[in-house]
Copies of this chain bind each other. A is one copy, B any other.
């Protein structure tokens, strides 16, 4: 457990702001491999953050021996010792069938109200009630699921002055759909219409990249470059975009054949393949958006994720004619705060500036 208490100490040094700096909410982003705990004040500012590796598949003791309680106490016990009545909200895999309490998926189109209505509750051994945000399911021939991302998405919607509920809009005109990308192991692309998650797509880009480099012939000739090779990355994106019609099962092999024919050095191959896969992801996204008359090039997507990865996606998106990309920061904290407010877990003192 590594704890970062900078914000809390800063608050103590500013007695004038003491009232606003009182702890008002504990919110958790509890995934498969990590647990991030945030302590908020009533203005939605993060006072303290605690990060551990106690994801639901990595609990400090087995579930049957109180693994969830142990992880929770380790992360939040110090805060609850100071004010035991703090409300607690959690999002992520902790609400899955393998989690602490099952918070069944809410179906698309899913707005904040539906998420709030789907909140499940679990009481900890220490008597604290924890509210757990449900995931979202898009049914259909190719169902899609998310758990944790829905919270980040509503955090991202707070940017650009958007309202979370279409009923709050001054006019009855429908809002323009927003496109939000969450790059990573299982990259997601989410279309938000009228402040609701309308539909979304999952691309196994990160995990397929890892499997191809570690467990196929492509990895055997690769050498990690000293620094990321942007040129090789963009070359991969271009090949996927311009010569990708046979699909990634075919183009991936070019990583090897370009190497065999001395056209791609060993230390260019990792970034080339990365560009190829991300290029195919964006080409696929472009194709599914087009079926609904949405043009990727006309979107100004928001990205949520690790900064360096988001920057790579920004470069790749530019090759698809897609500019105005915005990288959203603190989407998780913003989303947790927003849902907690909507659920009535906390009464905000300054709603116009959450987690600023």
Which A residues are within 8 Å of any B CB, using their own CB?
Answer: 137, 139, 141-145, 186, 201-205, 207-208, 210-212, 214-217, 239, 242-243, 245-254, 257-258, 260-261, 263, 277, 280-281, 283-285, 287-288, 291
Residues of B within 8 A of A210 (CB): 215
Of B139, B202, B204, the contact of A261 (CB 8 Å cutoff):
B139
CA distance A142 to B244 in the complex (A): 10
Residues of B within 8 A of A261 (CB): 137, 139, 143, 145
Min C-beta distance of A139 to chain B, whole Å: 7
Contact B250 A284 (CB under 8 A): yes
CA distance A253 to B140 in the complex (A): 13
CA distance A249 to B249 in the complex (A): 10
Contact A216 B207 (CB under 8 A): yes
Residues of B within 8 A of A250 (CB): 142, 201-204, 281, 284, 288
Contact B202 A145 (CB under 8 A): no
Residues of B within 8 A of A251 (CB): 142
Least CB separation from A219: chain B residue: B211
Of B253, B263, B284, the contact of A247 (CB 8 Å cutoff):
B284
CA distance A136 to B137 in the complex (A): 48
Of B216, B239, B249, the contact of A248 (CB 8 Å cutoff):
B249
Contact A288 B245 (CB under 8 A): yes
For A281, A284, A288, which residue has the most chain B Cβ atoms within 10 angstroms?
A: A284
Contact B246 A201 (CB under 8 A): yes
5 interchain pairs, CB-CB under 8 A: A144-B253, A205-B249, A208-B252, A246-B285, A246-B287
CA distance A257 to B141 in the complex (A): 10
Residues of B within 8 A of A144 (CB): 253, 257
CA distance A186 to B255 in the complex (A): 13
Min C-beta distance of A313 to chain B, whole Å: 14
Residues of B within 8 A of A217 (CB): 186, 207
Contact B247 A280 (CB under 8 A): yes
Residues of B within 8 A of A243 (CB): 141-142
CA distance A143 to B250 in the complex (A): 11
Contact A212 B208 (CB under 8 A): yes
Contact B214 A245 (CB under 8 A): no
Q: A141-B243, A216-B204 are in contact. Are A277 and B257 (CB under 8 A)?
A: no
Of B142, B211, B246, B281, the contact of A284 (CB 8 Å cutoff):
B246
Min C-beta distance of A170 to chain B, whole Å: 36
CA distance A208 to B255 in the complex (A): 14
Of B137, B246, B281, B285, the contact of A203 (CB 8 Å cutoff):
B246
Q: A203-B246, A281-B247 are in contact. Are A143 and B254 (CB under 8 A)?
A: yes
